[in-house]
Homo-oligomer: A and B are copies of this chain.
Amino acid sequence: MSAARSAVKALPRHLARRSLALHSLASRPLAPLATPSVSSRRWGGSLPDRSSKFTKLTPDHIKAIRELLSSPGSLISTLDNSASPEDLAGFNNDWMGKYFGKSPVVVKPKTPEEIGKVMKYCYDNDIAVVPQGGNTGLVGGSTPIHDELILSTANLSSVRSFDPVSGILVADAGAILETVDHYLAEKGFIFPLDLGAKGSCHIGGNVATNAGGLRLLRYGSLHGSVLGLEAVLPDGTVWDGLSTLRKDNTGFDLKQLFIGSEGTIGIITAVSILCPRRPTAMNVAVFSLPSYEAVQKVYAEAKSHLGEILSAFEFFDKQGFALSSKHIEEIHGSERKIFETEGDFYCLIETGGSNAEHDEAKLSGLLEHLMSNEMVLDGVLAQDQTQFASLWSLRELLPEACGKAGSVYKYDLSVPVGKMYGLVEKMRKRLRDEGLLVGDGQKEGPIRACVGYGHMGDGNLHINIVANKYSEEIEKVIEPYVYEIVAAENGSISAEHGLGVMKAPYVSYSKNQTSIDMMRKIKQLFDPKGLLNPYKYIQ
């Protein structure tokens, strides 16, 4: 970007020169890994038994539901041979190859009213339902556990309205995050959320799981930016809570309950959200650092020098960098050395502002300070849009790189910033003590790597444990230990991924009994038959 190009003039030569090493790292769209075939892997953990209170679907049910839909093609099922098990695999299974459902039917209604009709039928007939968006979740929240009907929002994907004065967007739940963001970009606005799965995930799913992502530091949580929701309630009522008002104090803020409810009290069908102006000047730099203490110091300096234009501060460790770099090399088919001096840690700093000259001056000030005080080992500043994307890919492709290296146990934790990396070290020690992680984990033991990375500004740490394969033995070493060390720091066992089926049994590590009791009552109030997304979340 021209912004970065002129800023770099004032930088130490070393930094400017090193940045050129990146020029041929091409930008690449991000997407989840391909869905594995049904036979590839099985989840090691135990799952809740099927509840006998739910009706077992028959061809008659399928026929009746199909008649509720405006287009017969909106339903596919193995029960009437309109689909094979393989056709349903992408809906029954998650992208990590960890969770496998056995639903015989996927319904993709074309309007909220159709979803309402299907839901009412299910309500009247005690049929359990899994709402599904892009199915990009990480905790088994969007796939069936047994034979629940899959209700997909994929056919609700339009932008309903956008007001360029206020920046308020109203869009269908099934709209894909990246598509919506491109739509907004043309109008000079930005969706206040960004995450690795943006090419597949639905904004309805983002809201239902209260997704956090890469720019929460700048734009805050969805609880602050979502203005209204439309949702189908368990009895089939289409609830219109689709306010486009920035302020409205007329009663309980009901939409807040649906944000992060993981499809357990209603199916979100549309979202009204406040979108900020898109920054006209953006910069990104990545540094190698000697220690986690150094990362924390650089974070403090970044906040101080960059103030209101700091839009992201991500970190990852050398294990993550190794996997990510290898993955990128494989994509491009050639070896590249990005940093002259590599470190135990890396951090990515992004700025976004309205005045390129001012932003460059602030960023130059920071870079000079970091280099002259030897707070970083090496640094790379993006020189153009391609390099901007390439630097981001070091961080954004990290989950994909882990997935490529093996079967990944993913943990998403929230603890005070100073305590974050200590959790990775504790976990690594435990894996070594139990003989699972040997040496540097270079394919010698059952665990190949234990990687730590995350969103520094949010106190959100991701631990990815890459195993040769999922196994109950490994899982028992990791869980509940990982939740115990988080609970000891009063942290959260799920910063942003949610509970799903994976963490549902462990919610008491993060929530007290009074809270859990209140949650159960709310679930019972909204969904007395327990039809929506059963076996998960709060049971």
Contact = CB atoms under 8 A, between A and B. Distances in A.
A537 B252 CA distance: 9
B216 A247 contact: yes
A242 to B, nearest CB: 10
A511 interface: yes
A507 B252 CA distance: 11
Contact of A516 (B163, B165, B251, B499): B251
A165 B511 contact: no
Contact of A492 (B245, B459, B521): B245
A331 interface: no
Interface residues of A, number: 84
Interface in A474-518: 490-499, 503, 507, 510-512, 514-516, 518
Contacts of A538: 251-252
Of A245, A248, A457, A507, most buried by chain B (CB within 10 Å of CB) is A248
Each complex incorporates copies of this chain amounting to: 2
B458 A247 contact: yes
A390 interface: no
A257 interface: yes
Interface in A152-172: 163, 165-166
Contacts of A417: 165-166
A417 B512 CA distance: 43
Interface of A: 163, 165-166, 209-210, 212, 216, 220-221, 223-225, 233, 237, 239-241, 243-254, 256-257, 259-261, 277, 279, 300, 303, 306-309, 353-355, 358, 361-362, 414-418, 455, 457-460, 490-499, 503, 507, 510-512, 514-516, 518-519, 521-523, 525, 537-538
Given A224-B225, A249-B499, 20 more contacts: A216-B247, A223-B223, A237-B514, A239-B515, A240-B512, A247-B458, A247-B496, A249-B498, A250-B510, A251-B260, A251-B537, A251-B538, A252-B260, A252-B519, A253-B257, A256-B259, A306-B354, A307-B353, A308-B353, A355-B362
